Amino acid sequence: MAIGCLKRAGFFRDPRARVAVHREPQQSPIKRHRHEFVEVVLVIKGSALHVAGAFRHRIGAGDILVIGTESSHRYEETRELSIVNILFRVELLPRLKRDLGLLPGFHALFASKGGGKRPAWMRLQASDFTMVGTWLDELDLETQRGREGGNLLAEAYLTLIVGLLARRYAESETRAVRRPEQLGRVLAWIEENLEHSFTVNDLAEHASMSVRTLHRRFRDSTGKTPWDYVMDRRIDRARTLLAHDPEMRIQEASLAVGIEDSNYFSRLFHAKTGVTPRDWSGGGFRRAVSGKTPKTTRVH
């Protein structure tokens, strides 16, 4: 069966906006589909059977779902289902990860690749659900007013919402979230220790699981091996450091992300970004943001 795809243009009034709100006061059953954006679903009232890949579960008032761009889902057996969707463009994820990545719950909720695995979902207490609803209303107003700075304020409310969800998810002791939270702690630990040298065995020990299980959990949640994930995060961190400090030496950037061999760092940086660290610090990141392809130089 073909999977439909919901496009950004149908939901974002302002093409410059990176956050939008879509309300469905009477959500009918909907066929399996994907999105060009990340979707946070708040169930206001009613119930439905939520189907994500091979996983099926009943949702009701107070539930929160997180649907990434690589996941597909559908609703069946809807009963007076009323939902509100917070939609945000995938390019916001790196900024949210930078600000909230030390919260284990952030990774459990927003780093999943889907692919038929258990969907990211949780149930909030009434007080928290009310708070999220208040921030959501303010977010919606900012996207509608069209005032200067409105899009930025909308993103600020999104950060508040995501931060609260990440905290509550990590605090939950329910069986449904215990396993993703366990991996989330490892991902948060990686963020805190990128400048240090460690091995996959160290990660497995920190996660209290075998190396084999760690590999399986990483594959399921991130689509990468543990070491590929670590090196990708190190290069992402190095890109940020070099972009903010063009005078930083390549060896300094290498050591700052836990790679002692600067030659290996340069080769890895080029393999993952298409440019050398020197080109990137020399303005390549600005050309990349503007859509222009930066020149590359050969590393001797």
- Residues 221-269 pLDDT 10s: 777 899 998 999 899 889 888 888 888 999 999 999 999 999 999 999 9
Domain ends where: 174, 208, 228?
174
- Provide the domain limits for residue 150: 4-174
Q: Does residue 144 share a domain with residue 266?
A: no
Domain ends where: 174, 207, 222?
174
For residue range 26-39, list pLDDT tens digits in order. 999 999 998 999 99
Q: Does residue 220 share a domain with residue 72?
A: no
Domain ends where: 112, 141, 174?
174
Q: In this prediction, what percent of the chain has a pLDDT beyond 70? A: 87
Q: Does residue 79 share a domain with residue 45?
A: yes
What CA–CA distance (Å, rounded) separates 298 from 300?
A: 6
CA 226 centroid distance within chain: 17
What CA–CA distance (Å, rounded) separates 196 from 250?
A: 17
CATH number for the domain that contains residue 255: 1.10.10.60
Q: Does residue 14 share a domain with residue 112?
A: yes
Q: Does residue 185 belong to any structural domain of this protein?
A: no
CATH number for the domain that contains residue 116: 2.60.120.280
The amino acid at residue 36 is E
| Helices and strands (DSSP H and E) totals, the chain | 12, 8
What CA–CA distance (Å, rounded) separates 81 from 89?
A: 25
Closest listed residue to residue 101, CA positions, set 177, 159, 178, 175: 159
- Interhelix angle 175-192/211-222, rounded to 10 degrees, is 90
